Chains A and B, each alone.
Chain A
């Protein structure tokens, strides 16, 4: 297992377009998280899944954002009608749900630029 994979690494899109990112977690990890990181800031929590269930969503996740993890393996994050404020690094992480404070493994992120 090579860790958490994210695709694409970079995405440039025009304002108003829809974009979708994919995350493949470590295979035995049943928790999957999405974070957003803007320039010069720390990552901010967006949402997380335990298996296929989406258990928590941040208030940062507006109606234009939707995340899925249909079979409890990979996850997708879709942003509809992108805005310039959506430009950021989108990070995915996974962990085992053995208790709080589990080690999270992060992917390299997808850098989104909305022009």
Chain B
């Protein structure tokens, strides 16, 4: 069975602060994929990043960065110099590589990020 845990239910920061969203996952698959999605109040899930289990390189995209550590089964997401527009619910998700686990995303419960001006 696959499981994603986002222990932080809500985070509130002041604009320009850095913020890290935690994600811990469980899977028996040796090959798997990890995702982060953003869900603004409009409801649409916006894709942010996908990483496969063989690529542990950290990634930076603008103000966003991701830290993938297989040893701790974690895939954390950091927003640098947060902005009010970053306010949303952020979901971490996991997909396997084949069969049942490869045909679906397993989501965490999400972290509500509020960035105050």
Contact = CB atoms under 8 A, between A and B. Distances in A.
A106 B45 contact: yes
Contacts, number: 64
For chain B, which range describes its interface: under 10, 10 to 19, 20 to 34, or 35 or more residues? 20 to 34
A85 interface: no
Interface in B79-101: 91, 93, 95-98, 100
Most chain B CB inside 10 Å of its own CB: which residue of A33, A45, A89, A101: A101
Most buried by B among A44, A105, A106, A108: A106
B90 to A, nearest CB: 10
B50 interface: yes
Interface string B13-52: 0000000000000000001110001000011111100101
Contact of A101 (B45, B97, B106): B97
B105 A41 contact: no
Nearest to B106: A45
A103 B97 contact: no
A42 B98 contact: no
Contact of B43 (A45, A55, A56, A108): A108
Contacts of B32: 101
B107 A100 contact: no
Given A45-B104, A101-B33, 6 more contacts: A42-B4, A42-B91, A42-B107, A55-B103, A100-B33, A101-B32
Interface of B: 4, 31-33, 37, 42-47, 50, 52, 91, 93, 95-98, 100, 102-110
Q: Return the 5 tightest CB-CB contacts between A and B, nearest first.
A: A42-B107, A101-B33, A100-B102, A106-B45, A45-B104
